[in-house]
Amino acid sequence: MFAILYAVWALPETILIRHICLIVGALLGVYELYQFRALLKTKYALPVWLILGLFIWVTFHLLFLSNNFALQLEEFSSIWKRTVLGAIFASGLGLAIANQCPSKQRSYWPLFYLGLLAPSLIYALKYVLTHYGQQWGIQVPDYLRLHYGSLLFYVPKTAYVCFCLPTLAVALGQLRRNIDHHVWFSRSNFIYALTVPLVLFVFMVRTSKMGWSIVPS
């Protein structure tokens, strides 16, 4: 659920997929929170309680401190609702992975990392199809092209920063971790090393007109 959700979150016209992933992930998260409920009584669960405190404050602000109740209720029932689902999803996922044996954690990692990498890979695919698809005789649909402005399938630069920057941080962190353990030549290092220029390519193109394409009428 995480890999799918992270891959499509920034893409337009994917709201049904996002909602399905969020709801299923949150339901699974509730189960994991119940399974490991004893851990919620320890000091290590402080971040979870702080997040819960944030939601309590937002609810209190809506009910007693709101200057525009209708507007804030709309925000509460849309943005904050998804935030609550995402927080439950994330907490359950973290507990589930952390309490697995190391061998299972390693088996889950490729899928987890693929989810992180997906937005950058999707952007690279769109870039290639937008700039070279016509030369190769490919009829590229609008949703696989790069767009600029308020067009239906336009994805703002902020979304790419939001979803690609964590991937860059994870790749660099994993490279550092492997090097600290004297692992220099491995398949994982090769993948992490390729991730760095891929993400930098996305950022470079998104800050120039090279990455913009308006579908001709």
CA-CA distances (angstroms) from residue 39 to 27, 84, 93, 97, 205? 19, 20, 14, 14, 44
Tokens representing 71? 């507007």
Report pLDDT for 209.
54
Instruction: Report the 10 Å Cβ neighbour count for 89.
Output: 25
Q: Distance between CA 161 and CA 184 in Å, rounded?
A: 29
User: Residue 151's pLDDT band (boundaries 50, 70, 90)?
Assistant: confident
> pLDDT-based confidence at 212, cuts 50/70/90?
very low
The Cα 145–Cα 143 span in angstroms is: 6
The string of pLDDT tens digits covering residues 158-186 is 899 999 999 999 999 999 999 999 988 89
Q: What values do phi and psi take at 117, rounded to 5?
A: -80, -20
Helix or strand or coil: residue 51?
Answer: helix
Residue for token pair 């067009």 = 151
- HEC per residue, 186-214: CHHHHHHHHHHHHHHHHHHHHCCHHHCCC
> Percent of the chain at pLDDT above 70?
95
Residues 6+ apart with CB under 8 A from 168: 195, 196, 199, 200
Confidence bin at 211 (pLDDT 50/70/90): very low
pTM recorded for the entire structure: 0.85
Radius of gyration over alpha carbons of the chain, in Å? 20
Q: Which of 183, 196, 2, 201 is nearest to 90 (CA)?
A: 2
